[in-house]
Amino acid sequence: MADPTSLIDDSHLLRSIIEASPAGMIITDADGVIVLANPSALMLFGFEANELVGSSVDRLVPETHRPTHHSHRARYMDHPENRPMAAGRNLYAQRKDGSVFPVDISLHPIQMGGRPMVLANVLDATDRQRAEQEREQRQAMEKLALLGQLAGGVAHEIRTPLCVIRNDAYYLKLMEDRLGEEGMQCINEINVAVGKAERIVSELLDFTRDPAYEPVDKTLSDLIESAIRAIGLPDSVSIDRQGDHSLLVRVDPDQIERVLINLIRNASEAMDGAGVVKVNVGSEVDAAFVEIVDEGPGMLREHVSRVFEPLFSTKPKGIGLGLAVSKRYAERNGGTLTASNLPHQQGAQFRLTVPLSERG
Amino acid sequence: MDDSDLMVDSKRILIVDDDAGVRDSLARILRGSGYVVEVAENGEKGIVKGESFHPDVLLVDIRMPGIDGIETHRELHRRFPQLVGISMTAYASSEKTKEAIDGGAVSVLPKPLNIESLMELVQSA
């Protein structure tokens, strides 16, 4: 029997191993020129044999990433080291037909004929990413189901004492002449506080049950003005109304008003309660849009994609359901709700779309 | 005071709620407005008390241990067909609300109660 170490030096054997590998294997030189691509790599990227050898590895990088890929490569060649596949890195590659797909890649510096080369092992990560997404969705659903059970119990337990507090405040208010101005002020404060607590409980319940959807025709003006009245904005916040507020939309007024209340209140709070909230209205093909723009510092970039997640909040006092509920209501009404930052830190913008009424 | 005022003032209200705070605070407000009020802490006691009290209005919490508010109202309404039932609930289940209305309640008020709405309902009962 032959010495196993001498077998490894057998270049035919090595080639067989490379060709049999289920992983896409690509070897490039120091300039990123492909010197070897195994059959799995060709299949992964949709190329025929020998189509890849001699071309730049940049060809396999999504077009949007190509301008920066060159510098990544140069940096790697300055400090070549084994880089294992790592979940969470979320890399993408581009096939010959231009389609982009997720990949897992490990990099290994090697020597071939005395020259420094890089071996890249490439695996299609579509299934892994999908499985991860499904797991995350499942976990979110479980979290929600648990929250629903909790919310139902909490709502009852909190609403009952709130009921007693409000009843007693009502009774005391009947004795206005004995309470005096300060006393009456206290009663008002109690009622405001009960209202706030009630709102939190309702928000929790709104989120955990499927709301009934009862659409009617309403003007955006009706909905927006009613929301503004319900919030009771401080004098330091003003509303700049732009566009055609008389547009007629078909929505469940309670739900869309709740959305507008959440958005306008958030906008006011994002400016620390002083500034101008722009309420810009218009129409697209068969939808109306309402853009709520604040003059605050805008959202952190990593927060923009997360603001609609349940229980995500940047406010010290928020429980993080307002925007999650709002998005659900928007979608329930056949619309959308999206968030973005204006350029140059000019504030955040929330954009709600809802169906236009057929009566126009 | 004419006859109609007299009738309003002597309206008899039975409050059935398993929470003492809710019972007592509502009784205080309604007595303060001149109504004759009795309270009970659960459905069974409410039905027994109702038989001797002959209420015009039943103010009842929907969800209670034992006989619930819907059943309490049904039972008392059978004996007093003129009884006006007003249900209260700390839950937001539209199913229960529908059940209460189907059972003959004129209104289902969410807790915490809007007392002005309650007073209007009681006055027009």
Counting as low any pLDDT under 50, the low residues of chain A are 1
Residues of B in Cβ contact (< 8 Å) with A212: 94
Chain B hits for A167, CB-CB cut-off 8 Å, are 22, 25-26, 28-29, 112-113, 115
User: Least CB-CB distance to B19: which of A160, A165, A209?
Assistant: A160
Q: What percent of chain B has pLDDT over 90?
A: 73
**A171 touches B: beta carbon within 8 Å:** yes
Closest CA to B112 of A155, A25, A350, A27: A155
CA distance A213 to A224: 19
- Chain A residues within an 8 Å CB radius of B63: 156
How would you classify residue A5: left for phi > 0, otherwise alpha for psi between -120 and 50, otherwise beta? alpha
Find residues 23-62 of chain B whose CB sits inside 8 Å of chain A: 25-26, 28-29, 32
Q: How many CB atoms lie within 10 A of CB B120?
A: 12
Q: How far is A171 from chain B (nearest CA, A)?
A: 6
CA distance B13 to B55: 5
pTM, full prediction: 0.58
Q: Compute the mean pLDDT over every residue in chain A, rounded to the nearest whole number.
A: 89
DSSP-assigned beta bridge partners for residue A238? A276
Query: What pLDDT is stored for residue A141 in this prediction?
Result: 78
Residues of A in contact with B22 (CB under 8 A): 160, 163-164, 167
Predicted confidence band of residue B6 (pLDDT cuts 50, 70, 90)? very low
Q: Is the CB of B115 less than 8 angstroms away from the CB of A167?
A: yes
What CA–CA distance (Å, rounded) separates A100 from A73?
20
Question: Beta partners for A106?
Answer: A121
What are A79-106's pLDDT values in tens digits? Answer: 999 998 875 678 999 999 999 999 999 9
The shortest CB-CB distance from A194 to any of B19, B29, B112 is to B112
Alpha-carbon distance of A198 to A202, in angstroms, equals 6
Segment A32-80, tens digit of pLDDT: 999 999 999 999 999 998 899 999 999 999 998 888 898 889 899 999 9
Is the CB of residue A266 less than 8 Å from the CB of residue A315? no
